[in-house]
Each structure stands twice: as C-alpha cells, then as structure tokens.
C-alpha cells in the first residue's frame, strides 16, 4: 500500500481518536513518523499507567502492529508491560489478541496460524479504525488488576 495514503488515513483517524479519547487516553506522535505513535492509558481500577506503541505501516491493507511498553523500564513486549486478568491481553506470548493487531497474526505468534490479513477489517467486527481500537483496548484494560510481571 502507498505510504502516503496510509499516512493520510492514519492522520484522519488520529484526529477522530483524540476527540473520542479526551480524558481517557493521550496520543503522542512526532511529525517525522506519520505512521507511528504512542498512546498512554490509565487503568482506573488499579491506578496503573500503560503505553501502547502503534506502527501503521501498510494500514489499511494490514492492521497496525500494536506493542505494549513497560512505562517504568521502557522495555517492549515484556510481561510487565501487559495487564493481568483478561485474555484479551495474551499472557503467554504477550500481545493484544484481536484481529486489529498485526502482532496477533502467524508471522508474529504461533497461536493464530489461520488468520489472514486480507479479511482483518471484517473479522475485527467494528474495531477497524484507530479510535475504535483504542476504545476497545481501554474498555478491556479497565477489567484488569495489576501486571503480568
């Protein structure tokens, strides 16, 4: 997919996601990287802060690659980066388990070898924009208590 087209789509969706998430999450992005951004969310049930790193190369042809970063150490994809107590946040291979996360697919995990990029939008069932993805992640996060590690 054309990089400029992906960047245009991402920027439009981020504008909407910022409005949707006022008071719920903060989006941080640099102008040098139009297809990458971080999102900071608070878990109101336990007071923990979580950081999500999005890479939207080839978006919408493929879903974004979403990784969580440990807010204390800065390490990516470690148990301490992920919340505990909800299977949406995979506790064995450390990823957000949903069709809208590229990290859930066979080239990044051994769990979903049958998932295909060409139908990710239909399979994501209403979570095919960045704002909708963030809303889903935020809702799932609120049912968690503590971190995996």
53-111 pLDDT, tens per residue?
999 999 999 999 999 999 999 999 999 999 999 999 999 999 999 999 999 998 777 78
User: What per-residue confidence (pLDDT) applies to 130?
Assistant: 98
Residues in the chain: 149
Residue closest to 126 by CA, chosen among 117, 136, 116: 136
Task: State residue 7's pLDDT score.
Answer: 96
Strand partners, 40: 26, 51
123 token code pair:
């399979």
Query: What is the phi-psi region of residue 145: left when phi exceeds 0, alpha when psi lies from -120 to 50, beta otherwise?
Result: beta
Predicted local confidence at residue 111, as pLDDT: 80
* Residues facing 53 on adjacent strands: 38, 67
Q: What is the pLDDT of residue 6?
A: 96
Domains of the chain, start order: 3-141 (3.10.110.10)
């Amino acid at each position: 997919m054309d990089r400029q087209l992906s960047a245009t789509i991402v920027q439009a969706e981020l504008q909407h996601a910022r409005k949707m998430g006022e008071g719920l999450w903060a989006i941080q992005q640099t102008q040098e990287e139009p297809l990458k951004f971080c999102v900071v969310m608070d878990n109101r049930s336990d007071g923990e802060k979580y950081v999500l790193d999005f890479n939207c190369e080839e978006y919408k042809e493929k879903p974004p690659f979403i990784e969580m970063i440990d807010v204390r150490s800065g390490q990516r994809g470690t148990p301490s980066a992920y919340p505990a107590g909800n299977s949406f946040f995979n506790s064995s291979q450390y990823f957000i388990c949903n069709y809208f996360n590229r990290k859930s697919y066979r080239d990044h995990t051994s769990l979903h070898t049958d998932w295909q990029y060409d139908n990710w939008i239909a399979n994501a069932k209403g979570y095919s924009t960045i704002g909708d993805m963030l809303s889903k992640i935020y809702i799932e996060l609120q049912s968690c208590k503590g971190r995996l590690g």
